[in-house]
Structure 1
Amino acid sequence: MRVRRVLAALSTLAAAAVLTACSAGGSADVRLAANTPTAASATSAPATSAPVPATTKAVPATTKAAPATTKAAPAKPVMAAGVPCTITAKACVSLSGKQAWLLDEGKIVYGPVKMLPGKQDGPTPVGKWQVEYKEKLHHSTEFNGAPMPNSVFFAPGGIAFHEGSLSRYSAGCVHLSSAASLKFFNTLEKGDEVQVVR
């Protein structure tokens, strides 16, 4: 009976020593406590040492998830067939080609038609714009009340599609023929995208 108690104490002590060694990374020098009975004295003396408590502590995780460094490339704009604008445009203007089109879901529904943009010191602005408002017979406040039939305003500064001379550059607007300006006026609505490219 006494031998069983000593062996049980030794078993508990050995388990504690292994746990201590594991928590120290496996490199600790594992020794029995000085007052632990040896195998020779186990039969003659009662075990007097208490089991050694396990000193294992939770090791905090030091690895962190690496932040994602790859960003998705921006989607390449889808060009409409036959024009230098994307499929989101409702009206497309090519300054270098002096042409304009009306589009619906990337398909040409009208054009190309001849147009004349702003002159060098008052160019038609390049970019993506939205139709702001329309006026059937607008009169210019800048140019002594000059008539601007079928005006479709789309860029800051009063820039519009309208009927105008196809032999004289504008002050920034897009001049169209009478028939083309009427078609642009009747087709385009507030909020429609207008793209002007070089």
Structure 2
Amino acid sequence: MYHISNDKRSFQSSEWIFEALRDLIIENGYENINITDIVNLANIGRSTFYRNFDNKDDVLRFKCDQKCKELKEFLLEYQNKNKIPAGPLCTKPFFTFWFKNSIVIELLIKINRVDLLNESYADILREYYNENTTSLDEMPLKYADYILVANVGSSISVLVQWIKSGKRDSPDDLSKIVIYQLMQNLLRLNIDTIK
């Protein structure tokens, strides 16, 4: 668990800790890193580390939560500015955000901990669903968890594939690919329904 207080000093310390962990992961991998390595590189005391985090996984969990909260704010601002509902029209800004913030995903892929991003994104999406119940109005409430995990799984899987393929596709291209796939699925569904 992480415990970052709202004061500027605590937030700055947590950023230094993340940056140190990030550099150590890039340099040495994840398994061989210990807290002493992190505090030495961050140039902070052990007590500062433990005031903010219980372990090194918590540093990554904090960064995932932080980025997912930023994503939510970014998407809500985009929706309000462009007067559009949530859904496929938010695909491009979703990928645009991660295009600018891909280091977190890159680190998680490198250490095989994408599950941390899945959890953070699921929490933010659940929060969004709860605040915007109209997005689920046509679906029975009992299906909400399935819709949530389907959205999380597909979104994060596309991001992981994008990173693994060298980020060669732009947010525009990724958006078109995902929307094309959604449309193909809807067309198949309509054809199967007609039969």
| Class of the TM-score when normalised by the shorter of the 2 chains | under 0.3
Is the radius of gyration larger for structure 1 or structure 2?
1
Task: Give the helix-richer structure, 1 or 2.
Answer: 2
TM-score of the aligned structures, taking structure 1 as reference length: 0.17
TM-score of the aligned structures, taking structure 2 as reference length: 0.17
Task: Give the strand-richer structure, 1 or 2.
Answer: 1
- Greater relative CO (CA pairs within 8 A, separation 6+): 2
